[in-house]
Amino acid sequence: MGARALSVDAVAVRPDGLAVAVWTARDASDSYAELWAASYAPGAGWGAPVLVHDPAGLALDHARVALTADGQLVVAWRGDGGDGTLGLFWKATDAGAIDLSAPPTEVAPPAWAAAADLATFALSPDAPLTLFAHYAGIATPALTTW
């Protein structure tokens, strides 16, 4: 990855030791950070870092990751929606980032809540009941490559 400014945002670990870390990284020449992730498997160590999201010049911060017992994974972060407001974004695979707050609204950093069936939901502490209801039903796909 070269010389970069790194900020580890979150790590999720399952009881069996599988872990995923997400962080932001910025080259000295960049005015914005990219979102990266890597997974750890017991006995195999850390995998190569993968680019989760390149915001193309827009700000992002406060990435969070959730990893369920059956291997489901999702990353959420607060980012610039392109109009100067901060939205809540979600991504599980390389299908692209999904703006959960479209059109973007001012939101606090994402936090996590997991349903009893281990489906994972993103919510913001701004208005937890409203946003939890809005995002309910967003289940994560099985852990795959980004």
The pLDDT tens digits for 85-114 are 777 777 764 445 555 555 445 566 666 555
Distance from C-alpha of 121 to C-alpha of 74, rounded to nearest angstrom: 9
Most confident residue range from 15-19, 69-73, 134-138 = 15-19
CB atoms within 10 A of CB 114: 13
CB atoms within 10 A of CB 31: 8
How many structural domains does the chain have? 1
Residues 6+ apart with CB under 8 A from 82: 58, 104
0.75 surpassed by pTM: no
* Ramachandran region, residue 137 (left: φ > 0; alpha: ψ -120 to 50; beta: rest): left
Residue 110 lies in a domain: yes
Residue 17 lies in a domain: yes
The fraction of the chain above a pLDDT of 70, given in percent, is 43
Q: Quick one: pLDDT at residue 69?
A: 60
Average pLDDT over residues 25-45: 80
What is residue 38's three-state secondary structure? Answer: strand
| 21: containing domain | 5-135
